[in-house]
């Protein structure tokens, strides 16, 4: 069990936590890791939970040491390096070529996106599907980024490609099928670029956070979580968007959370309504697939929205965020 201490907890407050535990015969150690201070104690300390929470200086008690760095608050001194995801990340499913990518990048920028997405290495269910352009796709992403000023996020499938993808991308994506590829996650922890980690399609939130922990524990504190839907019973929608995960993650972790309504639904008509719902649930951003000619898309055409639809989506998400911010400042009197 982990007892997280507030940033402003003084040495006397820490001592009181240790004294309470040790006085009850429970071994306890003070630790600092990645800027967070916490006391580590065996699970039997749970019987003292209420008394621990009542002590000044105690912020929260976490059950699961599997994600101690992801849990709790932004570590002291790290506020400035917290990944900002912008409101909307947009682009094609797959990079199809240089010209069409630049055309899409310019369109999504004009529609209000803050970051460009697009796969150069694609995790396709069949080996006979188009697998992406590889390094040529990465070069196209770099060029589109330079033309538009939008940073780019793209998926890395293989630990051996982390260096290559990192040379071109501003942020590296781990797809749903790789959420528990622990050697890939560890490799990403050893490099400096931010990581967009998508939730495994059948992963619990605990497993999701433990996967993020692999990156954090490697020394890379810049992880953004992406809820992209989990497997459900029907096929009306591609997945079931778990919007409850957004506020639930908010209470479990300091990591930013974005929502991908495109892979969640698989249907273009459902993307904008669910992006609005994600903004209302408190997501830090959304990631959506956009194409200038969805009918010609090489991958995921049915879920690609047009740039004009993206423009409405951006407007609506911003409007929802500003209503929520106004209400919050009215409530706090700020
Ligand atoms: C993607 O975003 O390109 C992708 C393949 O999504 P997911 O891993 O969520 O299926
Ligand atoms: Mn896709």
Closest-lying ligand 1 atom to the alpha carbon of residue 155: 3
Rounded to the nearest angstrom, the distance between the alpha carbon of 120 and the centre of ligand 1 is 12
Closest-lying ligand 1 atom to the alpha carbon of residue 122: 5
Taking the C-alpha atoms of residue 275 and residue 252, their distance in angstroms, rounded to an integer, is 22
pLDDT at residue 163 in the model: 98
Which residue's alpha carbon is at the smallest distance from atom 4 of ligand 1? 175
pLDDT at residue 76 in the model: 53
What is the four-CA torsion angle of 20, 21, 25, 28, rounded to 10 degrees?
-140
Residue 314: CB partners within 8 Å, gap ≥ 6? 87, 88, 111, 112, 113
Over residues 268-319, the pLDDT tens digits come to 999 999 999 999 999 999 999 999 999 999 999 999 999 999 999 999 999 9
Single out the residue of 286, 308, 320 nearest to residue 115, CA to CA.
Answer: 286
3-state secondary structure 166-216: HHHCCEEEECHHHCCCHHHHHHHHCCCCCEEEECCCCCCHHHHHHHHHHHH
Report DSSP state, residue 122: -
Please check whether residue 244 is in contact with residue 252, taking contact to mean a CB–CB distance below 8 angstroms.
no
| Nearest ligand to the CA atom of 120 | 1
pLDDT at residue 85 in the model: 72
| Nearest ligand to the CA atom of 289 | 2
pLDDT at residue 80 in the model: 40
Q: What is the DSSP string of 277-322?
A: HHHHHT-SEEEEEB-SSGGG-SS-GGGPBPHHHHHHHHHHHHHHHH
Which residue's alpha carbon is at the smallest distance from atom 5 of ligand 1? 175
Ligand 1 pocket, mutate which of 165, 198, 230 (most atoms under 8 A from CB): 198
Over residues 173-211, the pLDDT tens digits come to 999 999 999 999 999 999 999 999 999 999 999 999 999
Please check whether residue 305 is in contact with residue 269, taking contact to mean a CB–CB distance below 8 angstroms.
no
| Nearest ligand to the CA atom of 290 | 2
pLDDT at residue 273 in the model: 98
Taking the C-alpha atoms of residue 307 and residue 97, their distance in angstroms, rounded to an integer, is 18
Rounded to the nearest angstrom, the distance between the alpha carbon of 289 and the centre of ligand 2 is 7
Q: For the chain, which residues score pLDDT lower than 70?
A: 34-35, 64-65, 72-84, 334
């Amino acid at each position: 069990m982990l007892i997280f201490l507030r940033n402003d907890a003084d040495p006397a407050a820490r001592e009181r936590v240790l004294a309470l535990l040790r006085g009850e015969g429970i071994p306890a150690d003070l630790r600092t890791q990645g800027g967070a201070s916490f006391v580590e104690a065996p699970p039997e300390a749970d019987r003292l939970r209420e008394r621990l929470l009542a002590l000044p200086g105690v912020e929260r008690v976490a059950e699961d040491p599997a994600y101690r760095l992801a849990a709790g608050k932004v570590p002291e001194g790290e506020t400035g390096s917290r990944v900002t995801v912008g409101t909307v990340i947009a682009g094609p499913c797959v990079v199809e070529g240089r010209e069409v990518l630049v055309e899409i990048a310019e369109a999504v920028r004009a529609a209000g996106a803050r970051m460009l997405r697009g796969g150069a290495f694609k995790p396709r269910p069949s080996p006979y599907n188009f697998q992406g352009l590889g390094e040529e796709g990465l070069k196209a992403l770099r060029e589109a980024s330079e033309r538009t000023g939008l940073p780019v996020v793209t998926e890395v499938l293989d630990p051996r490609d982390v260096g290559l993808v990192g040379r071109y991308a501003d942020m590296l994506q781990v797809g749903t099928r790789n959420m528990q590829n622990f050697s890939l996650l560890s490799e990403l922890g050893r490099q400096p670029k931010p990581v967009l980690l998508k939730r495994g399609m059948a992963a619990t939130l605990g497993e999701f956070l433990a996967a993020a922990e692999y990156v954090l524990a490697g020394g890379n504190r810049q992880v953004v979580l992406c809820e992209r839907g989990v497997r459900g019973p029907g096929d009306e929608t591609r997945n079931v968007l778990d919007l409850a995960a957004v506020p639930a993650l908010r209470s479990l972790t300091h990591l930013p959370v974005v929502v991908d309504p495109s892979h969640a639904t698989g249907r273009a008509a459902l993307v904008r309504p669910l992006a609005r719902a994600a903004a209302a649930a408190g997501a830090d951003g959304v990631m959506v697939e956009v194409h200038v000619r969805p009918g010609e898309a090489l991958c995921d055409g049915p879920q690609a929205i047009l740039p004009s639809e993206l423009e409405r989506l951006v407007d609506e998400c911003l409007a929802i965020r500003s209503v929520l911010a106004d209400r919050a400042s009215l409530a706090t009197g700020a």
